[in-house]
Amino acid sequence: MRTLCVGLGLFFLAHTAGAQTPARPAAARPPALTLPAYRPDGTLAQLMRAIMFPNSNIIFDVQTNDPTRKRKDPDPADRGALALFSNLYAGWDVVEGAAIALAEAPDLIMRPGRLCSNGKPAPVGRPDFVKYAQALRDAARATLMAAKEKNQEKVSDLTNQIAEACVNCHTEYRNTPPGGERRCVPKN
């Protein structure tokens, strides 16, 4: 009988304690990430010079230079940042980084509000411009995969796709004098 009383007492306590506990509110969801309004800082030409040109040249260099080859150590007398950190990231890591920069560059190229060097809006809404940007992304992604494989021949072959993506767009939108009136204006 005593066991029955203790058991019933524990049951009663557990049941009433649960009833007195306020219901938990539903877990609050974090607010959706909203990016601040963004206005590009550089022109399309500045973006090309800062990102596409140096990174494509790193990839083109693979045609004649093996990324696994040890580079010479910098001159200890040269205390500039470029010399001090020149071997920090080297070899295939640099090639992978260049491919990543080119693969993500179309997001910057296509940013609304991007201007050309002559002050005209970049043609981000034109289907051919979008196609050229996507061709760069596709070639860069293929290059990234080849660089991860450390396949110099494959990377070297893929430079043709990178060059073709650039030439197609340049032929249509760039081949006028820098800052010229026809820059970023389609030929047709």
Q: Which pLDDT score is estimated for 38?
A: 76
Percent residues over pLDDT 90 in the chain: 52
More confident residue, 18 or 175: 175
- What distance in Å separates the CA atoms of residue 56 and residue 160, rounded to the nearest whole number? 11
Kindly tell me if the per-residue pLDDT of 12 is higher than 70: no
Query: In the prediction, which pLDDT does 174 show?
Result: 81
pTM here?
A: 0.72
Closest CA to 94 of 151, 147, 158: 147
Q: Cα separation of 78 and 64, whole Å? A: 27
pLDDT, position 8: 46
Cα→Cα distances 142→130, 134, 161, 163, 173, Å: 18, 12, 9, 13, 25
Q: Are 56 and 102 in contact (CB under 8 A)?
A: yes
Q: Are 182 and 116 in contact (CB under 8 A)?
A: no
Q: Is residue 92 part of a domain?
A: yes
Domain count, the chain: 1
In the predicted structure, residue 134 carries a pLDDT above the cut 70: yes
How confident is the model at residue 68, as a pLDDT?
Answer: 87
- Supply 141's token pair: 């992604």
- Helices 92-109 and 53-61: angle between axes, nearest 10 degrees: 150
Whether 28 is in a domain gets the answer: no
Write down the pLDDT at residue 185: 79
For residue 182, being part of any structural domain is answered with: no
CATH at residue 98: 1.20.120
Indicate whether 13 belongs to any domain: no
Tell me what the mean pLDDT of segment 132-153 comes to.
97
More confident residue, 127 or 75: 127
Is the per-residue pLDDT at 34 higher than 70? no
For residue 162, pLDDT over 80 is answered with: yes
Parent domain of 137:
40-173
Query: What is the C-alpha to C-alpha distance for residues 52 and 45, in angstroms, rounded to an integer?
Result: 10
Mean pLDDT for the chain overall: 81
Residue 27 phi, psi (nearest 5):
-60, 130
Residue range 69-96: mean pLDDT, rounded: 69
Structural domain contains residue 27 = no
Q: If pLDDT is split at 50, 70 and 90, which confidence band does 74 have?
A: low
